[in-house]
Structures are given as structure tokens and as C-alpha cells.
Amino acid sequence: MTPGIRPLVAGNWKMNGTSASLGELRGIAEGFAQGLGEVADGLVCVPATLLARAAEVTTGTPLNVGGEDCHPKESGAHTGDISAEMLKDAGATHVIVGHSERRTDHGESNATVHAKAEAVWRAGLVAIICIGETQAQRESGSTLDVLAQQIAGSVPADANAGNAVIAYEPVWAIGTGLTPTVDDVAQAHAYIRARLGDKLGAVAGRMRILYGGSVKPSNAVELLSVENVDGALVGGASLKAADFLGIARAYRSL
Ligand SMILES: O=C(CO)COP(=O)(O)O
């Protein structure tokens, strides 16, 4: 937590979900409408195929919906790609860029992620810019250097508290049930805030830095209470309303 920063509990459905999953989304929206929205902002990023219907389901509730990736361009001959403007048109308020699965599966560089963040802003949406070290990088002691490089390369210099959210997701913690120690999370988040400060100035003190990687209801209080952790980016546990709401509920006791 950071004094003065309203937390954000965000879900990332990845390549999961069909129309049958909209009931879970409705459950999440109801949970935020029935009180959780008072303690945290809620967002679920869904596959593009579901976005328009997800936006309908959540209309009139505090829950926002977002996209998981976008193309840097607004339109054109890019078969199979989707622009930030299209995501906005379908109802997105946020777009994840630079998720480690995109960096790995699609070879996305920091420069690509930077261009995608700019595309998100061109469309008037909020970019959730993901960074995080691999297992090998952690074992070789280069975690903080990797984070510094990713911030330098992926985060545009016009990022601010209104248009960008940073998500720290250690790659080895994603989908594995493993999480860094509270001390490691605190160190990484403080370091990220400091590097953002070098780059962006005072605005960095108001930016949200989310933690992602195996966040569950059972570890949410511990992880979300860490200094400079301003919310979570949740994968697997965002697919079930009970689990996602269980994580958000941590803010009732923090
Ligand atoms: O990658 C993640 C969110 O973007 C985290 O995924 P898990 O919560 O399934 O570990």
C-alpha cells in the first residue's frame, strides 16, 4: 500500500474464457457493486472476443474491463491484430502491454512495449505496463538490473499516474504457485518506484505499482500489505468470482 494511492485489483484472463464465463464476470461486478468498490478499483482484462459482452455485463457497476494487448497502429493491413482504438470501441478502459507471455511468445521487445503503451494513450486508455525478471535472471542476481532496463525501455517518458499502471510480475511466479518473499517484493517495488522517479519525476510517487504472480485469496493480505504494492494483477484466480473477490476483500482489512 502507498498512502494516498487507491488500490487496483486487476484480472487477466489470458487465453481463457468463452460466453460461458460471463457469469463469473457478473459475479465479480456484483461484488464490486456491493461494497468492494469502496475499498479498491476493480478491472478484468478479457480476451478480445469477450470484450464487448464483458462491457455490457459490467455496465452500471464499478468494475471496468480491459484488453490484454494491442497493436501499435490505429488500423491497417495487420491481419489478426487489434488496435487500442478497437478495444476502446468495444468498451475497454485499460490495456495490458508487455506481459511476459507476449514478450516470450511473440518476441516483444521493450521498444515494442513502449510503442504499444503510446498506442493505448492515443486511444485515451490506461496502459498496464508489465515488467519482471525470469528465474535465470533472478538466480544470476540481475533482478534489479532487468527491472531498470525494462523501465528504461518500456515505459514512455510521458507516463503518469493517470495514464499508466506498472505491474511487477516475476516470470517464475506466474502460474506456478510460487511467490517472492515479502522482503523481495518490498525491495523490487521500492526499486521500481525509485527508477520511475528518476525517469518521470514526482508523478512516480502517485503511480500504481501492482504485484502479479500467483496471487490468491490466501496470500493476498500478506502481498497487498507490502509497502509500494498498490494492487494486484491476477491471472488464474481472476477466472472465478469467489477467488477474485477474495483477493479484493484483502483491502477490507488493510
Ligand atoms: O500473469 C499473471 C497476471 O498477468 C499472473 O498469473 P497467475 O496469477 O495465474 O500467476
Q: What is the pLDDT of residue 197?
A: 98
CATH topology of domain 8-253: TIM Barrel (3.20.20)
* Residue 198 CB partners (closer than 8 Å, separation 6+): none
Q: Which cell goes with 12?
A: 487477466
CA-CA distance, 156 to 47, in Å (whole number)? 25
Q: Which cell goes with 172?
A: 517464475
Torsion over CA: 218, 251, 165, 84 (sign): positive
Ligand 1: which residue has its CA nearest to atom 3?
235
DSSP category for residue 183: H
**Is the CB of residue 215 below 6 angstroms from any atom belonging to ligand 1?**
yes
Cα of 220 from ligand 1 centre, angstroms:
13
> Do the annotations mark residue 235 as ligand-binding?
yes
CA distances from 115 to 70, 80, 156, 196 (A): 10, 18, 8, 18
Is the pTM higher than 0.80? The answer reads yes
Q: Is 114 part of the annotated catalytic residue set? A: no
Domain ranges of the chain: 8-253
Residues in the chain predicted with pLDDT less than 50, given as ranges, are none
ipTM of this complex? 0.99
Helix (H, G, I), strand (E, B) or coil at 133: coil
Q: Which cell goes with 128?
A: 498496464
pLDDT digits (tens, 9 = 90+) for 124-158: 999 999 999 999 999 999 999 999 999 999 999 99
**Is the CB of residue 234 below 6 angstroms from any atom belonging to ligand 1?**
yes
Write down the catalytic residue from 99, 101, 108, 114: 99
Q: What is the pLDDT of residue 62?
A: 98
